[in-house]
Amino acid sequence: MNMRLFYKFLVPALTLAAFTVATKTAKDDKPAEPPKTKPAKSSKNTDNCIFNQNEISPKDMDGLKIVADTNFVGGISHHFDNESVQKLKKRIHKPDSLLEFKSPIENKPNIYLEPFGYFFANRPNGDKKRPHMGLDIYVSPYSRKPKDPVLIQAPVDGVVISHKRAREKDNVIGNCVILLGRDGRKYAFDHMARPTDYSDSIPMPTVGTIMKAGDPVGYVGATGETTMWHLHLTVMTDEAKAAQENSKYWRTLASQAGYSALRGQVNPLDKKEAGPIADCLKEYRGGKLNLKGDFKLEE
């Protein structure tokens, strides 16, 4: 017999047969045993948990729940529920010092921050009840549509916990992806381009997609409440969220704004809260703008 054939077909077949017999015997001779589970992961392996594949596999989805939020203004959002996010956070967390951080925008000329792109500044229309939360990163002169798409990239290893596809008449964030970083912070990328905006569009990462720092998230766009092509970047922490929920000032703000003012947003330029991404964003600062990143909670 051809030995290659022997190993290819006969050996697996014999092994399976032997396994079947063994299982049957065991089953017949002994009282039913609970099904064998895979060996518990050693603590040494937890560092790589769920980071060996591009999407969370069905076995890792145990206890995690994705919900579709059709009531979300202006589109459909799919996201892990809060409990799942907390579970994921525990599983993937790693201190800042052990992680690589990258700029959320691929390096291109003509990237800059606008004065009203400053976190917590008032909007250009002077609407003080809805302060501008987050940081606007502009990628083209006069914020026109860039001829070539500008890539948004994961600033740190993490997992996509939310994605939103906007309707045409979305009046808020437009197409959006939220990444839970291994640093425990959440990064939201708002106003992302539509698939039809560029001929070589890249698919929006779905909930559960695992990313390495620098992986493509999408292209800078102008969907949602804007006519200007830019990335509205939001950085959120659980600590800031807890502080805001205990703050009368923030609670009032949230009720006035009627939107996501209470999601734990921090100033992406504030290294103390936003972490190393603040350094990655430094290269965009400049010109006449004062971007010190001052921000503190007020009562």
Phi-psi label, residue 208: left if phi above 0, alpha if psi -120 to 50, beta otherwise: left
Least distance CB 51 / Zn ion (angstroms): 31
Which of 112, 77, 107, 76 shows the shortest CA–CA distance to 229? 112
Asked if 69 and 79 touch (Cβ cutoff 8 Å), the reply is: yes
Q: Which is nearer to Zn ion, 106 or 114 (CB)?
A: 114
For residue 136, the minimal CB distance to Zn ion (Å) is 4
> What's the closest the beta carbon of residue 264 comes to Zn ion, in angstroms?
17
- CB-nearer residue toward Zn ion: 185 or 232: 232
Give the shortest CB-170-to-Zn ion separation in angstroms.
14
Comparing CB distances to Zn ion, the nearer of 164 and 232 is: 232
Q: From residue 149, give the alpha-carbon distance in Å to each of 91, 133, 139, 234.
A: 34, 25, 10, 21
CB 118, CB 135: distance < 8 Å:
yes
Other Cβ atoms less than 10 A from the Cβ of 99: the count is 18
Distance, in Å, from the CA atom of 29 to the CA atom of 149, rounded to the nearest integer, reads 66
Q: Which residue is nearest to Zn ion (CB)?
A: 232
Shortest Cβ 191–Zn ion spacing (Å): 7
Pick between residue 101 and residue 189 the one whose CB is nearest to Zn ion.
189
CB 81 within 8 A of CB 65: yes
The greatest distance separating any two alpha carbons of the chain, rounded to the nearest whole angstrom, comes to: 84
Name which of 186 and 232 has its Cβ closer to Zn ion.
232
Rounded least distance, CB 226 to Zn ion, Å: 7
Distances 162 to 6, 68, 78, 84, 184 between C-alpha atoms, Å = 49, 10, 6, 12, 15
Task: Tell me the three state secondary structure of residue 242.
Answer: helix
Binding positions for Zn ion, rule: CB under 5 A: 136, 232
Nearer to Zn ion by Cβ, of 153 and 234: the residue is 234
Smaller CB separation from Zn ion, 156 or 188:
188
CA distance 194 to 181: 24
- 88 vs 188, beta carbon nearer Zn ion: 188
Alpha helices in the chain (DSSP H): 3-5, 11-29, 82-92, 238-245, 248-257, 271-274, 277-281
- Shortest Cβ distance from residue 189 to Zn ion (Å)? 11
Least distance between Zn ion and beta carbon 233 (Å): 8
